[in-house]
């Protein structure tokens, strides 16, 4: 029996939305004997320990009823962190206006590392405001790594 991650994601999405949160990601790690189900939640003002506990308790109860795992598992609910990785195209929309650092596969404007404010995602391109009203657009596929930068 394989684990239906989309079904689990859908269950988590319902719980998270009912709590006024956003489901950031769901991932399954480990082997059959000791699987780790990690659920990342977010909200604009930041996630509290209570948010994580509430989602964990509700999702755990739902998983016990649905029983989508062939064996034992550990459930972990947390925030993706302040300097989180940007992985999916939706991340670039969700965090529009936030400071980010992008490492490119091929240079854009002679630079392989860019830092600026995310200005969205459109037509396969990530847009970055690098200052003085200058917007750089780069193909999503050209981004090797990207993460939010903590602002002081």
- Distance CA(71)–CA(35), nearest Å, equals 8
Q: What is the pLDDT of residues 53-66, one digit of tens each?
A: 999 999 999 998 88
Domain boundaries, the chain: 5-78, 89-148
Count CA within 13 A, CB hemisphere, residue 33.
0
Residue from 39, 139, 146 nearest 87 by CA: 146
Coarse DSSP helix, strand, coil percentages of the chain, rounded to the nearest 5 percent = 25, 40, 35
127 backbone dihedrals φ, ψ, rounded to 5°: -110, 135
Q: How confident is the model at residue 152 (pLDDT cuts 50, 70, 90)?
A: confident
Residues 6+ apart with CB under 8 A from 146: 85, 86, 91, 100, 101, 102, 103, 126
Residues 6+ apart with CB under 8 A from 25: 38, 39, 40, 80, 87
CATH of domain 89-148: 2.30.30.180
Q: CB of 44 within 8 A of CB of 96?
A: no
Average pLDDT over residues 43-70: 89
pLDDT of residue 1: 54
Q: Same CATH fold, 89-148 and 5-78?
A: no
Q: How far is CA 120 from CA 42, 45, 88, 99, in A?
A: 18, 20, 12, 12
Q: What is the pLDDT of residues 9-39, one digit of tens each?
A: 999 999 999 999 999 889 988 877 778 999 9
The whole-model pTM stands at 0.70
CATH class assigned to 5-78: alpha beta
């Amino acid at each position: 029996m394989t684990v239906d991650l989309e079904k689990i994601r859908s269950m988590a999405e319902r719980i998270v939305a009912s709590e006024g949160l956003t489901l950031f990601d769901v991932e399954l790690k480990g082997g059959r004997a000791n699987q780790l189900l990690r659920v990342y939640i977010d909200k604009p003002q930041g996630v509290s320990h209570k948010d994580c506990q509430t989602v964990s308790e509700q999702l755990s109860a739902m998983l016990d009823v649905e029983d989508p795992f062939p064996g034992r598992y550990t459930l972990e609910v947390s925030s993706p962190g302040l300097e989180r990785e940007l992985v999916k195209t939706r991340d670039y929309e969700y965090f529009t206006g936030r400071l980010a650092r992008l490492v490119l596969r091929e240079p854009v404007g002679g630079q392989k590392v860019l830092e600026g404010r995310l200005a969205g995602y459109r037509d396969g391109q990530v847009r970055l405001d690098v200052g003085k009203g200058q917007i750089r657009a780069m193909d999503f596929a050209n981004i090797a790594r990207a993460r939010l930068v903590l602002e002081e």
